Structure 1
Amino acid sequence: MNTTDRRDQPPIGLLLRKLDNLVNERFERTLGTRDITRRQWQLLHTLAERPTTLDALNTAVAPFLDQAAGETAKQHLDPLAKLGLVTSTSDVYELTGAGRTLFDSLAEDVQTTRDLTVRGLADGEYDRTIANLQAMIANLEDNA
């Protein structure tokens, strides 16, 4: 595609920001009905796969944390522990029975949101979109 073809299209940055905002708003609405934040959802999702250490949880959610402000996974785990959804022993965190029940219920709601996000895309278009975005990221990272 040459640059003249792009003049009538919105900038990709604008579209990405709008999509990101809409996804965040939808997730806040979906998770907020159960008083769970997006970061807490990510931690529940990670723990649903297997018990894990705080260091591993920090790594799992690192791209989403404000590390400049010192934000860590523990700040999001503590409220889950107080609600009896997560427990820890010797720095290994895991879901409780109540945590598993909540996760399973939320997973259905989250899947509904994900299905809505890709509704109308032809087979393979989501994968193609992801591949294109990753290529654009690599282009900009390689030429930084």
Structure 2
Amino acid sequence: MRIRSLLLGVLAATTLPMVACSSEGQDVPASTVATDPPNGRLIGYQLKRLDQLIESTFDKLLNEAGLTRRQWQTLNTISRGPADMTQLMDALRPFWEVNQENVAEVVAELTARGWVEQGSDSRYLLTPAGREAHGDAANTVDRIRDLSATGVAPEEFDTMMDVMGRLIANLERVG
């Protein structure tokens, strides 16, 4: 799932007011709003906060598994089939372009660990040790997904993804 790219697409086109309006029509300082339960109208705040929590949770739990999030994303992309550097950069761009990380550096790290190798066709593929590392990390990622979806029915999640997709499509037409 390309959650970060979905979130970034909405965030890039969303601006947040510095104050929000209470149900009584009075301005409420933004610092108060951040600690109050979301009122459904602060989509930029909610998306940004969710993105921050996804990123920090992945960083923490994948670090416990001995990986960075970027290493996981690269392993996961290659696990779907061999890919050359251009294909990897295209697949990972939505996750990486904000911080301008270097795909080649991550591939080199994974190669040094013996998890990725370059085939005779210049495409990268997982080694047997890389498939094992990917499987272990996938268990961690599944745990993160379960943690984040606690209390959310599958139908609710599907609806949320549908709505976010439509919001993104609407804003992509503008820019």
Shorter-chain TM band: 0.7 to 0.9
Number of residues of Structure 1 aligned to a counterpart in Structure 2: 138
Report which stretch shifted further, 87-96 or 100-109. 87-96
**1:22-101 correspondence to structure 2 within 5 Å:** 22-66=53-97, 69=100, 71-90=101-120, 91-101=122-132
Indicate the SS of the match to 2:154: coil
Q: Which amino acid is 1:123 matched to?
A: P
Which structure carries more helix by proportion? 1
**Structure 1 runs of 4+ off > 4 angstroms?**
none
Structure 1 residue 35: Cα displacement: 3.0
TM-score (norm 1): 0.86
Q: Distance in 1 between matches of 2:73 and 2:84?
A: 15
**1:107-126 correspondence to structure 2 within 5 Å:** 107-126=138-157
- CA distances 1:48-83 after superposition (whole Å, capped 9, x unpaired): 1212211111111011223785x4321211111111
Q: Which amino acid is 1:124 matched to?
A: E
- Alignment RMSD, CA only? 1.9
Which structure is richer in relative contact order (CA contacts within 8 A, separation 6 or more)? 2
Name stretches of at least 5 consecutive residues in structure 1 with no aligned partner. 1-5
Q: Distance in 1 between matches of 2:61 and 2:98?
A: 25
- CA distances 1:99-123 after superposition (whole Å, capped 9, x unpaired): 1111101101110110111111123
Q: Which amino acid is 2:96 matched to?
A: L
